[in-house]
Chain A
């Protein structure tokens, strides 16, 4: 299991999120929701927010941001919800229904083609 760095103890994670744990639910951010920066980092911004804005100059999945920042997904969701609220990032949500329904056959065909091309 990956160990968080020395700076990433639970107290620090608590500080990073201001102690919040639930607010990110509003935005329903999936692991593979793609996040895109809509502005550049600015002076005085919380460093984690700045790193996200830099990382997301190209579309970047929530889970990739989590790996990049070495923070649990739930913490990243909270940080992202701050940025979403301020319009500093936008979210491209997966277009697969988040239920047990199967995606449409055309999309699966595209995935198959991509796998064959690998």
Chain B
């Protein structure tokens, strides 16, 4: 019933195939992760810049599978499930950037290596009403040696200055911190550009190990 033509035709109208296919030459997937607490605007930011309607999926993993020795056997296994959204931006004929919105809570970090190793960099999206969530994410990213910037999603009415936020997060001066409105495409674009500018600066800094992995928490 399906033709083998490579054109993205949708003969039956919209079903689950309002998928926008990649170019046939696409061969290099890239990742950027937006991390933040619940309700901080991760999905909104992904939606603002994605060329496809954001999709979501999940990953599950039994804790026994990460090397936790549990003498209680099967009953003792705990299953970790993490749901995440993603969108996509075509870079060129070869490269395509996937933008992930992922929760920053503790159980998520068990899956970081499995899901997000090789990520170019991360955006920590913060909300001044819940800075604690962000602090944990920043700590974990540092532990993973993952370059990141911090973006303050300002819904309006927030009187905190960026310097106050920087101080509250105990953020090093080397980590860019910018304000944004995740609902706004140009603003979300600016966040991603700030991140990639930062990565570019790090990558062209000569042979200095700029992201020395921090001590890992036990």
Contact = CB atoms under 8 A, between A and B. Distances in A.
Contacts of A110: 91-92, 95
Per DSSP, chain B at the interface is mixed
Given A58-B24, A68-B19, 16 more contacts: A2-B57, A59-B24, A64-B19, A68-B55, A72-B59, A96-B30, A96-B120, A100-B146, A102-B202, A102-B203, A104-B203, A107-B95, A109-B200, A111-B95, A114-B90, A114-B97
Interface of B: 2, 4, 6, 8, 16, 19, 21-24, 26-31, 49, 55-61, 65, 81, 83, 86, 89-92, 95-98, 100, 115-118, 120, 144-147, 185, 189, 192-193, 196-197, 199-200, 202-204, 211, 213
A89 interface: no
Give the size range of A's interface with the partner: 35 or more
B65 A58 contact: no
A86 interface: no
Contacts, number: 157
A57 B211 contact: no
A34 B118 contact: no
Contacts of A112: 193, 196-197, 200
Contacts of A73: 57-59, 115
